[in-house]
Structure 1
């Protein structure tokens, strides 16, 4: 029966979510598109609904290998705790799912009592696996310190961005140059004819995004991360980076994250706040190192400056 629903999955996904919000209007507050003016036509809702319905499809396909499916469902259940999902939401989702299936299969005469019973029992089984994982994850979150919770939000959301890191990296830099066109002059690819398709920009953007990823991973060991960020801040002085560039980069980073996470419904106010605070902390470490390095460079003789440029650039070649 799912094979028939899949023929118009996106439309059914929107119906599914609109049904959820009809049954439980308060559930809308859990989603990043909660303030959409025309909810049913919201691109964010459409994207998230499509993702959810494809996940349902993967679960349906996974019924052929239940032992493999169980840990996937457990992970999915646990992951939803950080979005504020509660056990009492499962019956609402189940009701909306069955209603959506009836809408899709009823006109074709496929929504028989036997099919409905099969879906009901399947959903009950899914809940029996997901709900305990959700409860356990919620318990772990409630026991976390605010700092640990913020770290988890940042790391979990970054894991989604990493799936298309190079594309997000290009968006990130193009956003920087939109906010501050003059910043382009700091880069070797400043004269590229088609900047967005420049191989140099793509390579640099990929490197930067992977560095961000390393910093995100490093949140699990802040004492080790701090000297890395200090070194990174200091290293940028020789490229002409100024303290006033940090707010521009921060704005571009948050925008890029919103573009990557918003359609999946993950860019919640809580996640945004976690990233904002994390970025502020990063700047508080990098900026003093940048200023100190710039001061040292300005005090150098031309010969010392030339030596430093040669040595620093060779260090990259040696890798």
Structure 2
């Protein structure tokens, strides 16, 4: 990721943060719409899960300028996800739901440059997480 992409991700996330609760609802609604089979991996009451999602995104987004500081937590998260039943093929689906949510949440501020920056960030992190969790360096496209 370039420093400009890091800035775009951080600036756009700052615009989503005020609607984080709504964004989390949108994300999970979209995820369960496109991949209903993953719903069984989540609790019936999603309120804590939605908070965890937004808190984790905030940590990652704020740490993009020093990716090495974020990677240990990303590795631990990836390994935990395996125990929940997550598979490598879920990562692109999650990424699609995330990008869709950001596009809807940002509206006119969702430009092609912002989309490219978020895609680069997600591809970088998810590829790392997949390799940490499953031992094979795959990129989530």
Give the structure-2-normalised TM-score: 0.92
**Does the 8 A contact of 1:169 with 1:202 survive in 2?**
no
Deviation at 1:228, TM superposition (A): 1.4
1:211, 1:161 → 2: CA distance? Answer: 14
Of structures 1 and 2, the one scoring higher in RCO (CA 8 A, sep 6+) is 2
Q: Distance in 1 between matches of 2:99 and 2:109?
A: 13
C-alpha distance after superposition, 1:198-236 (max 9, x if no partner): xx2122112111101110001121111111111111111
Aligned to 2:114: 271
Which residue number in structure 2 is paired with residue 240 of structure 1?
A: 85
Tell me what 1:60 maps to: none
* Alpha-carbon separation, structure 1, partners of 2:49 and 2:72: 22
Alignment partner of 1:159 out of 3, 6, 14: 14
**In the TM superposition, what is the alpha-carbon distance from 1:172 to its structure 2 partner?**
0.3
Report the equivalent of 2:33.
Answer: 178
Structure 2's unaligned 5+ residue stretches are 136-141
| CA RMSD between the two structures | 1.1
Residue 168 of structure 1, CA deviation: 0.5
Q: What corresponds to 1:65 in structure 2?
A: none
SS in structure 1 at match of 2:124? helix
Equivalent in 216, 233, 258 of residue 61 of structure 2: 216
By how many angstroms is 1:188 displaced?
2.2
2:106 to 241, 257, 261: 261
Report whether the alignment pairs 1:282 with 2:129.
no
Select the structure of larger CA radius of gyration: 1
- Kindly indicate whether residue 24 of structure 2 is the aligned counterpart of residue 169 of structure 1: yes
Alignment of 1:1-319 (within 5 A): 147-189=2-44, 200-262=45-107, 265-292=108-135
Partner residue, 1:19: none
Tell me the secondary structure at the aligned position of residue 2 of structure 2.
Answer: helix
1:234 and 1:290 in contact (8 A); partners too: yes
Equivalent residue, structure 2, for 1:134:
none
Listed one character per residue, the Cα deviations across residues 159-192 of structure 1 (whole Å, up to 9, x for unaligned) are 0000110110011001000001111111121xxx
Aligned-partner Cα distance in 2 for 1:261–1:202: 22
Q: Which whole-Å CA distance do the structure 1 matches of 2:67 and 2:41 have between them?
A: 30
TM-score of the two chains, using structure 1 as the length reference: 0.41
